[in-house]
Structure 1
Amino acid sequence: MEEILNKIKQYETIIIHRHVRPDPDAYGSQLGLKYILQDTFPEKNIYAVGQSEPTLEFIGDLDEISDDTYNGALVIVCDTANSPRIDDERFNKGSELIKIDHHPPVDSYGDINFVNTNASSTSEIIFDLNHSWNLNDSNVSERASRVLYLGIVGDTGRFLFDNTTPHTMEVAAQLMTQEFERNRLLNQLSEREPELLHFQGYILQNFNYDGEGFCSIKITKDILEKFNLKPNEASLFVNTVADIKGLKAWVFAVDEGKEIRCRIRSKGITINHIAAKYNGGGHPNASGASVYSWEEFDALTADIKSEI
């Protein structure tokens, strides 16, 4: 922690990245770190970059910077297990690179790697880093508290997932001491356009449950076209079947054209090693993988069934 702070103090320009297809924790940790550093070092140039996700733009704005900005800059990547998933390939153009993450450390791509797999989220880690640095008496501003709270809420499933620890609740409680419109923000986090709910109805009528703990959902290109959906919009419904009685693991597959993106979830069964076998990875109970044909998808589902 101290080594990271020393590096931050050395640089005038700091550029913060996160993973592609960002979720609330990717946004929360990236913007939370940006706001904390801006509040503490107003003289520094602090940027948060990456492709914007329309459904999460209410969390905060991202920066557009030129390639020259990376000259002599410190780059920090949040919430990204392996370098191919880093959003914006310019991340390696800076002088030094720091990785801050809570996923299993499959790729130590940074000059400094800070990974805590016991943390619920990278947003929780950012809070702990700030507390350890004792910057501004460790107080977190309203804007930083808001995004870190949303990041934690997102990665814990509103504190329902197994990764929610007593420490997670303590961090959330401290963030809640700042005044921000929690109810409004939580509503925005779960809001869906009306046409998306028709798609949710399709999932509920067409999921494939084998009766032995495994469920699969296949979203082909023609289904995306039928509901006028983008792949990232379809993926919002990965947990639609989570309440099936007896369910132990499920996979939500979306044909994105160049690849079939598979989001794998489980209840108490470790599945990230299976995801790693199929060009992916992630948490023991929540991972992602990529296959390149529906035949390969069948092989993936067979491996998950074997694990069950």
Structure 2
Amino acid sequence: MYLDATQIETLYSKIQEYDRIIIHRHVRPDPDALGSQYGLKYLIEGKFPNKQVKAAGTVSKGLSWLASTEEVTEADYSGSLVIIVDTANSPRIDGKYYASGAEMIKIDHHPEVENFGTLEIVHTEASSCSEIIAEISHYLGGRLPMNQAAAKILYAGIVGDTGRFLFNSTTSITFNAAARLLAFDFNAFEISDRFQTMSAKEAKFQGHTMNNMTVTEYGVASVMITRQDLLDFDITEEQTNSIVGLPGQIEGVVTWVIFVEQEGANESYRCRIRSKGPSINEIAANHYGGGHPKASGAKAYSYKEVEAILAELKEASIAYKSN
């Protein structure tokens, strides 16, 4: 067990102390961000029904089946406890007023990028932040007991961040946590099915992606998705999530990046970087991003920066293969 008992006892005492708690997570939330955020919210509300617990940030249409956006105003932060989940650095926190609360706590599983909060519960060995929240509830037992609403969304968060238990971040702790959550009455198949189901348009777009992918002799794959591509296939930027894992299915590819051209007059690209070998989170950090050693995001503000990212991935791949 990776939890630190002293930290968890401190967290619980802070939850007891404050009547208003606001939970934040990172921008462009994935299932784990929402799972850990709303899972913690439902746990606190279940044990302390008289407390006001709010989840800050917007929710994309594609994940509206998991959670909906809640209204949080600046006035809500007065005298409140702010908890930031699944976020390594403050620029990625979704919301304006997170620093206006009386106290801040960080709960995360990303490699350390920035220290913030009077208490930091960070465990990079965890498969997901949702797993950490589930383990906290398990440790505290009846003091913060699991309930059905929390179990369902925490399970979805774990499934999302482990690629349905396929990624190497999955451990025996992950499976034990998932097993305890599955004891509650929700449809686990429906959750997994949502993650793998795509529209016919997305399926055609996957074929376009494979046809336009570049794979180098060093095992670096890349593909550029333009605004025109999105128009031609009538899909949103969010729907490009369906192609993120595709390059990794190609034999010989050890790391890859998907560049998605952003709207606006200025040249810019969203960069989804993945790896089956070399660590890529430091490369992402060099380009306005961050994340995990095998899954990170970044930004490029020129084609020259696109080329720089590819060059850094090449060097990382060469170093990895040489070892």
Short-chain TM bin: over 0.9
Shift of 1:61: 2.6
Partner of 2:196: 190
Partner of 1:180: 186
Partner of 2:57: 50
CA distance in 1, matches of 2:72, 2:305: 39
Partner of 1:248: 254
Alignment of structure 1 residues 198-237 onto 2, 5 Å:
198-237=204-243
Q: Does 1:275 align with 2:284?
A: yes
Amino acid at match of 1:156: T
Report the secondary structure of 2:135's partner residue. Answer: helix
Shift of 1:19: 0.5
Partner of 2:269: 260
Q: Does 1:169 align with 2:144?
A: no
The answer to whether the Cα contact below 8 Å between 1:102 and 1:121 also exists between their aligned partners in 2 is yes
Shift of 1:127: 0.9
Two-structure CA RMSD over aligned residues (Å) = 1.4
The answer to whether the Cα contact below 8 Å between 1:21 and 1:232 also exists between their aligned partners in 2 is no
Partner of 1:238: 244
Partner of 2:156: 150
Partner of 1:7: 14
The answer to whether the Cα contact below 8 Å between 2:57 and 2:69 also exists between their aligned partners in 1 is yes
Amino acid at match of 2:128: S
Shift of 1:97: 0.9
Report the secondary structure of 2:94's partner residue. Answer: coil
CA distance in 1, matches of 2:30, 2:19: 28
CA distance in 2, matches of 1:293, 1:225: 22
Alignment of structure 1 residues 22-101 onto 2, 5 Å:
22-101=29-108
CA distance in 2, matches of 1:184, 1:21: 23
The answer to whether the Cα contact below 8 Å between 2:257 and 2:272 also exists between their aligned partners in 1 is yes
The answer to whether the Cα contact below 8 Å between 1:18 and 1:26 also exists between their aligned partners in 2 is yes
Figure out how many residues of one structure are paired with residues of the other and give that number: 307
CA distance in 2, matches of 1:50, 1:191: 26
Shift of 1:69: 1.2
The answer to whether the Cα contact below 8 Å between 1:56 and 1:189 also exists between their aligned partners in 2 is no
CA distance in 1, matches of 2:45, 2:243: 35
Report the secondary structure of 2:249's partner residue. Answer: coil
Partner of 1:117: 124
CA distance in 2, matches of 1:145, 1:75: 22
CA distance in 2, matches of 1:71, 1:139: 28
After superposition, the C-alpha distances for 1:173-217 in whole angstroms (9 at most, x for unaligned) are 111111201111221223223222221121011111114311001
The answer to whether the Cα contact below 8 Å between 1:16 and 1:76 also exists between their aligned partners in 2 is yes
Shift of 1:275: 1.1
Q: Which moved more, 1:139-148 or 1:296-305?
A: 139-148
- Runs (5+) with no aligned partner, structure 2: 1-7, 318-323
Report the secondary structure of 2:238's partner residue. Answer: helix
Q: Does 1:295 align with 2:304?
A: yes
Report the secondary structure of 2:121's partner residue. Answer: strand
Shift of 1:114: 1.0
Shift of 1:66: 2.2
For normalisation by structure 1, the TM-score amounts to: 0.96
User: In the superposition, relative to structure 1, how do residues 236 and 22 fare at CA in structure 2: closer, same or farther (>3 Å)?
Assistant: farther
Q: Does 1:105 align with 2:108?
A: no
Amino acid at match of 1:19: H
Shift of 1:106: 0.7
Q: Does 1:128 align with 2:135?
A: yes
Partner of 1:285: 294
The answer to whether the Cα contact below 8 Å between 2:270 and 2:297 also exists between their aligned partners in 1 is yes
CA distance in 2, matches of 1:146, 1:103: 23
Shift of 1:143: 1.1
Report the secondary structure of 2:125's partner residue. Answer: coil
Amino acid at match of 2:295: A
Amino acid at match of 2:315: S
CA distance in 1, matches of 2:242, 2:21: 31
CA distance in 2, matches of 1:104, 1:283: 6
- Runs (5+) with no aligned partner, structure 1: none
Shift of 1:92: 1.2
